[in-house]
Structure 1
Amino acid sequence: MLDIKRVLKSAKAPKLDHLIRLITPWGECLDPDRILPEHPRPTMVRTSYTSLNGRWDYAIVAREVAASAGTEALSEDGLRKETGAATPPDVFDGTILVPFSPEAPLSGVERTLRPDEFLWYRRRVPMPPLEDSQRLILHFEAVDWVCALRIDGMLVATHADGYLPFDIDVTPYLHRTAEEFEIALCVADPSDAGVQPRGKQQLEPGGIWYTAQSGIWQSVWYEVVPAAHLYTLTLKGEADGTLDIEARVADPARMLPQGAVLVCTLLDNVGGIVATTRLPFAPARADTPDGLHVHERVHIAGTRSWSPEDPYLYDVEVTLVPAGAHEAVDAVRSYCAFRSVAIQRDAQGFPRLFLNGSPRFVAGVLDQGYWPDGLMTAPADAALVHDIEAMRAAGYNMLRKHIKVECARWYYHCDRLGMLVWQDAVSGGGTYSPWHTSRKPTLFQTTWGRFADDTPAHRAALSSDSAAYRSAWMRGCTGMVRMLAGHPSIVTWVLFNEGWGQFDARTVTEIVHAVDATRPIDATSGWYDQGCGDFLSHHNYFRPLGVARDCAKLSGYAARRGFRAFALSEFGGLTLHVAGHTATPSTYGYGDFPDADAWRAAVLDLINRARALERCGLAGFVYTQVSDVEGELNGLLTADRRVNKLNG
């Protein structure tokens, strides 16, 4: 039976006109000269790198947009052209602490970038020693949303994607004899005034929608590398000892005309050599003048499987050796693990997630990855670890990273600590219809499997009728899957959530499955199931918990297998206001309680009821959520991470 009182109360989400300042323990002791100094990409580490986090000049300036420009003024193509043509202002407003966005308190700015404005960054960087055979690669881990990069005033590149990294070889634009060079970055971000993937950011936040942010929000750094160098490396191990190795080599100076050999040496946790594999790159062809590619599967005997109880990682040393030579021209450190994940039937016939050949009940928590002082940027590496360890200590084995691609170090910590991850794609599209994405499916559960997402009318209802959005979403989703493929902790891809920008789920699921067939897919988390993927995936905040029977007509690879698992992919959301640790005087969530003891009893009772459904065929659940976020006070932790509500 639907709890109509709680439904009506949840429909009244207050707007956030003002947030009470909260600061985490890590933000409180932030050192501006050592902001997130750890290597940003643990899967591909060279012996040295230079962090550019810290103080940059910034300016926010008006865009000169004609009223007749319409939506073109906020489109990817339009913003690429405009940011690329823009010139830096003569006077900057002050300094900003990168990588915190200007909206974040820790940035020192605390100003929202509007759709009709540009955000400029500028920093002068000492010129490192650079030999003729070396290149300087500038890395941006994430910039939201469109940006144009200039080196010493020259336009180098434009980029559009708020959640994926980009790397630029800036060597041709440097004056090697100069003492320093200047980086300038122009950023435009329409936030929810546009249609691009943006997650839960909103210019007018409230309820389940959070403060929008813009610009640089993950680490900026550079490396000096050989002219011929590895620029991507993915290591995926299976429980049977199979290691999938994929690498790409940049060779702009044609240093490897006869090809090269990739040498991978696996080491155990005491430094002993487990195996060494040599993979040849073919000689460069005329149609691939800028690089080489290798993708091979090898078998390694006697490997130890990775699991939450034993998150065993192998260190990997990778070198690039020119064909016919003995000395490497490039070397990186990485790691890998061996584990398998699949959806299979257990001994009772229930479809479940199997890890390394054994059924695994998934007890998860929804993880938004927001911080009151850094917004989407964690104030310290230790803050990322804190949340993972707090959820492990509370008895959970999975985090669902919700509508956000996290920084690379978060996945590394999940890998080494043994936390399973369900990874969401980033949603977007036009303004969401509350009726179609919330009210109708909440009131009428019978609509969940009866609303196609591949017709023009239904795409419009789900805010996915923009071809530009669908293209950007597809590019971002497949880019995310490829980028994160080497992390053993990730065991499920989640494509669409509650209909937000949902489109063509059956086609999209097959595309993602073709990119990565080694992980299950939760195609439509919440409702509007299309009979595809590996899960029948329901959200349940207002009805008694239960296990639904999958009656959908299956499509694609799910039809060939013949069954899917049932997951309660969101539930709970019970609220508790902790005085002195909340960002708003108002409370938003699902259910209020007179005191902390009553809240704690209700939460534990609800979770125990969910766990009890395992014997009825439930494959796993996701409780909402890890922490409070702004006005949403349903976390197990307070937003400032100073109070664990479960512990009192």
Structure 2
Amino acid sequence: MTLSPTDSVVTAPRATPDQPRPEYPRPDLDRSSRWLNLNGVWDFDAADAAPSITVPFAWETTASGVNRTWLEHAVYRRSVTVPEDWAGARVVLTFGAVHHHAVVRIDGSPVGEHTGGYESFEFDVTAHLVPGIASELSVEVHAPADKRAVPHGKQRSIPRDDYDGVSFTPTSGIWQTVWLEARGRTYARTVSLRGDSLTGFDLVVDTTGEAPAGAVVRARIRETGESVDLRADSEGRAVGRLEVAAPRLWSPAAPHLYRVEVAVGDGEHADTLIATAGLRRIETRGEQLVLNGERFSIRGVLDQGYWPETGLTAPDEAALRGEIALARGLGYNLVRKHLKFEEPLWLHEADVAGMLVWAEPPCPSRFSAEAAEAFEAQLPAMVERDGNHPSIVIWGLYNEEWGLDWDIPGSPERAAAAEHAYETLRALDATRPIVENSGWSHVRTDLVDWHYYEPDLAEWKRAVAAMADGSQDGFSVRLGPDFIVDKSFYASDAVPRTGVPIVNSEYGEGFTSLERAWHLRWETQELRRHDRFAGYVYTEFADVEHEAAGLLTTDRRAKDWGGCVPADVNAETVLILDLVPLRAGADIEPPREPFALTVHVSHHGPLPVDVRVQAAWLSAGAPVDGASARAARGRPDAVGAELRVEPFVVSDGVELTVSASPVAARLLVWATDASGAVVARAFLDAAEVEAPNRRGARQA
């Protein structure tokens, strides 16, 4: 069966003021039959702060009730009572994430501690809790203001670092769900399911508890009943293969998920959970990305995962799940979750919906042996928690040499750190492409990706063409108001110039929402003009605090896109218009004579498509998907010849002779397939371009 977004062992409860985020947080590793949510109001002990806090919201957020920035130390406390019917079970306390160092105690006795602000972690607290009897749980948190050697992603630091202009309010303390689970006396600590063979799952179960050595482990696919029995080795690890007789693959078009029941032991105190996974293979073949044996192209958007009143924590389950549908509605097939381990609930939603994911850890901001070690220390937890998700098709590592002082080419030590991080992640997971340093200065990578921001569309068009044909492999980057450097795709001559997929993984320009939508239209079409590129990632999905670069506002509402329909820009089939536009809202001056417009078609579907390109004038500003546009399609002003468009081969140009329009107007351009259905759509705005006013300028 294909899972729906609402599939769960139990119905998700509704949030209340006393218990926000009440849903079970691990639908991908489900033990929700016996769990206790610890979100809600906790006592809070910190200097000059409120005496209570609402978990799981960071203490900097208004949702937490504390709203304090640059608080570096606090203690959380609350009473917990394990249900009496958990007697005989192992009890495990789990934290979704705590920034940055947590010391956990029960009734004053140390339970454990954890360093790392984004990873999930857990402690077996069976010896500390008695079913039916209340105990005090305390969590002491240290969150340094100086985060330079700490993986912190987009969180602001003191001292203020080089990235402060693109950083946001910090996220400190408990910022994801906290919960207790009842597990078997011997239980599965981790479950790894990899479906890259496309015919079954490679299974690894690490057991712990009372008797992990020699533990009997049984895995069974709930839908089909296919199963395998394993026995753990002396270290408690069970390794095996779960074959699927009639495999159904996971893909964006058909995101089939399997539910795999994993049981450890037998009888009353056995441990049981349900893991979800998919059969899919992502690989590179030369300069192509290939999913399940078929070429595909990334049409992605960068998402930083911040919300206006709750920071890095989603305000509720609906908001978190809704992110995936919003990205799909904008036409994207991939989300690059930027410098953040997103919640498993979001990743599960991506699995269910068929949204591809580029996942990456947060970076530190200054290079040192300590910082590099802390950065790599996150990777095992990232792969352990998130590696089963078929939606994750790319692992990222460093971003733009953050934590490497922007100097991989000039520092063998920093270059070695990037390469070592690649090797470390490759040893943990060899099933996905890895980008060791997103943006430029690659030393060892499975994708050559590049970040390029250029406001001049003529220069954008020229540079993109040059980077596609290999005559240019570098560009200038403004790293600060008075700091411009030249960056190359490659950090050394040892990095191959061909034979590796090339992806633009950050682009976008414009000051107003109208300008940004205009740049989205024209910049994206130039990326689609060159099928050497394996895709793109637009920056960005939603605004964050002072950074107003999103297609959506901070609360995920659509902006004024000036008639642009992002889903048209990011469609499987798009139109490429041969001109350089003049201004946002005025792509061309109103033509007083008929003119020739050359149109190409880019198609990224699996099969060829036969299309006919047409055009018609609409009134200025008319919606391209409105009633007047539908009427215009019945009486086109210009009709081109029919042509066949092959997958991943930009078509020859089709020349349309467009009639004059002496007044401001909008030219709708569209392509229909053999059935007459519209498969691609674009437009040109014709309006007067006023010369800029410079009367107030002072002469030197």
Query: Fold-level match, TM-score > 0.5?
Result: yes
SS of structure 2 residue aligned to 1:316: strand
- Confirm whether residue 529 of structure 1 aligns to residue 442 of structure 2: yes
- Confirm whether residue 403 of structure 1 aligns to residue 320 of structure 2: no
The structure-2 alpha-carbon separation of the partners of 1:366 and 1:327, relative to structure 1 and needing over 3 Å to count, comes to same
Separation in 2, partners of 1:355, 1:328: 41
Q: Deviations over 1:70-100 (max 9, x none)?
A: xxxxxxxxxxxxxxxxxxxxxx842211000
Do 1:391 and 1:626's aligned partners in 2 also have CA atoms closer than 8 Å?
Answer: yes
Report the RMSD for the aligned CA atoms in angstroms.
2.5
Do 1:364 and 1:396's aligned partners in 2 also have CA atoms closer than 8 Å?
Answer: yes
Separation in 1, partners of 2:429, 2:264: 26
Separation in 2, partners of 1:224, 1:149: 19
SS of structure 1 residue aligned to 2:307: coil
The structure-2 alpha-carbon separation of the partners of 1:599 and 1:133, relative to structure 1 and needing over 3 Å to count, comes to closer
Aligned residue number for residue 380 of structure 2: 478
Aligned residue number for residue 392 of structure 1: 328
The structure-2 alpha-carbon separation of the partners of 1:239 and 1:612, relative to structure 1 and needing over 3 Å to count, comes to farther
Aligned residue number for residue 464 of structure 1: 367
Please report the TM-score for the alignment, with normalisation by the length of structure 2. 0.69
Separation in 1, partners of 2:197, 2:269: 31
Aligned residue number for residue 181 of structure 1: 135
Do 1:113 and 1:119's aligned partners in 2 also have CA atoms closer than 8 Å?
Answer: no
- Confirm whether residue 512 of structure 1 aligns to residue 497 of structure 2: no
Separation in 2, partners of 1:645, 1:243: 46
User: Which region of structure 1 is more displaced relative to structure 2, 50-59 or 189-198?
Assistant: 189-198
SS of structure 1 residue aligned to 2:382: helix
- Confirm whether residue 164 of structure 1 aligns to residue 149 of structure 2: no
Separation in 2, partners of 1:147, 1:162: 9
SS of structure 2 residue aligned to 1:105: coil
Aligned residue number for residue 11 of structure 1: none
Aligned residue number for residue 588 of structure 2: none
Do 2:87 and 2:131's aligned partners in 1 also have CA atoms closer than 8 Å?
Answer: no
Aligned residue number for residue 584 of structure 1: none
The structure-2 alpha-carbon separation of the partners of 1:328 and 1:277, relative to structure 1 and needing over 3 Å to count, comes to farther
Aligned residue number for residue 49 of structure 1: 35
Separation in 2, partners of 1:131, 1:601: 59
SS of structure 2 residue aligned to 1:207: helix
Do 2:45 and 2:76's aligned partners in 1 also have CA atoms closer than 8 Å?
Answer: yes
Q: Deviations over 1:365-419 (max 9, x none)?
A: 0010000111000001111122211111111100001011111111101110111
Separation in 1, partners of 2:547, 2:449: 23
Per the TM alignment, residue 31 of structure 1 is displaced from its structure 2 partner at its CA by: 2.7
Do 2:200 and 2:247's aligned partners in 1 also have CA atoms closer than 8 Å?
Answer: no
Do 2:359 and 2:392's aligned partners in 1 also have CA atoms closer than 8 Å?
Answer: yes
Separation in 2, partners of 1:647, 1:640: 20
Do 2:15 and 2:21's aligned partners in 1 also have CA atoms closer than 8 Å?
Answer: no
Do 2:514 and 2:561's aligned partners in 1 also have CA atoms closer than 8 Å?
Answer: no
Separation in 2, partners of 1:474, 1:378: 26
User: Which region of structure 1 is more displaced relative to structure 2, 204-213 or 504-513?
Assistant: 204-213
Aligned length: 508
SS of structure 2 residue aligned to 1:102: coil
Separation in 1, partners of 2:132, 2:517: 62
Per the TM alignment, residue 566 of structure 1 is displaced from its structure 2 partner at its CA by: 0.6
Aligned residue number for residue 280 of structure 1: 231
Separation in 1, partners of 2:197, 2:560: 38
Equivalent AA in structure 1 for residue 447 of structure 2: F
Q: Deviations over 1:147-192 (max 9, x none)?
A: 1111011122111010111111112223x27630101111111144
Q: Deviations over 1:576-596 (max 9, x none)?
A: xxxxxxxxxxxxxxx324xx5
Aligned residue number for residue 32 of structure 1: 17
Do 1:539 and 1:568's aligned partners in 2 also have CA atoms closer than 8 Å?
Answer: yes
Separation in 2, partners of 1:210, 1:231: 35
Structure-to-structure mapping, 1:219-234, within 5 angstroms: 219-234=177-192
Aligned residue number for residue 655 of structure 2: none
Separation in 2, partners of 1:328, 1:226: 5
Do 1:554 and 1:562's aligned partners in 2 also have CA atoms closer than 8 Å?
Answer: no
More helix by share: 1
Do 2:147 and 2:364's aligned partners in 1 also have CA atoms closer than 8 Å?
Answer: no
Aligned counterpart in structure 1 of residue 314 of structure 2, from 349, 367, 378: 378
Aligned counterpart in structure 1 of residue 45 of structure 2, from 59, 63, 72: 59
Aligned residue number for residue 89 of structure 1: none
Do 2:333 and 2:355's aligned partners in 1 also have CA atoms closer than 8 Å?
Answer: yes
Per the TM alignment, residue 144 of structure 1 is displaced from its structure 2 partner at its CA by: 0.2
Aligned counterpart in structure 2 of residue 334 of structure 1, from 272, 275, 278: 275
Equivalent AA in structure 2 for residue 340 of structure 1: R
Separation in 2, partners of 1:274, 1:130: 30
Separation in 2, partners of 1:368, 1:159: 24
Structure 1, unmatched stretches of 5+, are 1-28, 63-91, 346-350, 430-462, 575-590
Aligned residue number for residue 312 of structure 1: 256
Per the TM alignment, residue 129 of structure 1 is displaced from its structure 2 partner at its CA by: 1.3
Equivalent AA in structure 1 for residue 52 of structure 2: T
Q: Percent identity?
A: 35
Structure-to-structure mapping, 1:173-572, within 5 angstroms: 173-174=128-129, 176=130, 179-203=133-157, 207-238=165-196, 240-251=198-209, 253-254=210-211, 259-268=214-223, 273-282=224-233, 284=234, 288=235, 292-321=236-265, 329-345=270-286, 351-429=287-365, 463-465=366-368, 467-502=369-404, 503=414, 504-530=417-443, 532-542=444-454, 544=460, 545-546=464-465, 547-548=467-468, 549=470, 563-572=499-508
Separation in 1, partners of 2:562, 2:203: 44
The structure-2 alpha-carbon separation of the partners of 1:298 and 1:125, relative to structure 1 and needing over 3 Å to count, comes to closer
The structure-2 alpha-carbon separation of the partners of 1:274 and 1:128, relative to structure 1 and needing over 3 Å to count, comes to closer
The structure-2 alpha-carbon separation of the partners of 1:48 and 1:199, relative to structure 1 and needing over 3 Å to count, comes to same
The structure-2 alpha-carbon separation of the partners of 1:518 and 1:510, relative to structure 1 and needing over 3 Å to count, comes to same
User: Which region of structure 1 is more displaced relative to structure 2, 634-643 or 477-486?
Assistant: 477-486
Separation in 2, partners of 1:555, 1:476: 30
Separation in 2, partners of 1:321, 1:472: 37
The structure-2 alpha-carbon separation of the partners of 1:232 and 1:646, relative to structure 1 and needing over 3 Å to count, comes to farther
Separation in 2, partners of 1:243, 1:36: 32
Q: Deviations over 1:519-571 (max 9, x none)?
A: 001111112221x1111111110251343437959899x87x98211110111
Aligned residue number for residue 133 of structure 1: 88
Do 1:145 and 1:162's aligned partners in 2 also have CA atoms closer than 8 Å?
Answer: yes
Equivalent AA in structure 2 for residue 279 of structure 1: L
Say which one has the larger Rg. Answer: 2
Do 2:99 and 2:141's aligned partners in 1 also have CA atoms closer than 8 Å?
Answer: yes
Separation in 1, partners of 2:427, 2:241: 17
Separation in 1, partners of 2:309, 2:140: 24
SS of structure 2 residue aligned to 1:390: helix
Aligned residue number for residue 643 of structure 1: 558
Do 2:450 and 2:503's aligned partners in 1 also have CA atoms closer than 8 Å?
Answer: yes
Equivalent AA in structure 2 for residue 343 of structure 1: T
Do 2:84 and 2:131's aligned partners in 1 also have CA atoms closer than 8 Å?
Answer: no
Please report the TM-score for the alignment, with normalisation by the length of structure 1. 0.74
Per the TM alignment, residue 275 of structure 1 is displaced from its structure 2 partner at its CA by: 1.4
Per the TM alignment, residue 235 of structure 1 is displaced from its structure 2 partner at its CA by: 1.3
Separation in 2, partners of 1:179, 1:618: 61
User: Which region of structure 1 is more displaced relative to structure 2, 179-188 or 546-555?
Assistant: 546-555
Do 1:102 and 1:113's aligned partners in 2 also have CA atoms closer than 8 Å?
Answer: no
Separation in 1, partners of 2:431, 2:147: 36
The structure-2 alpha-carbon separation of the partners of 1:167 and 1:630, relative to structure 1 and needing over 3 Å to count, comes to same
Aligned residue number for residue 3 of structure 1: none
Separation in 1, partners of 2:15, 2:27: 22
The structure-2 alpha-carbon separation of the partners of 1:320 and 1:102, relative to structure 1 and needing over 3 Å to count, comes to same
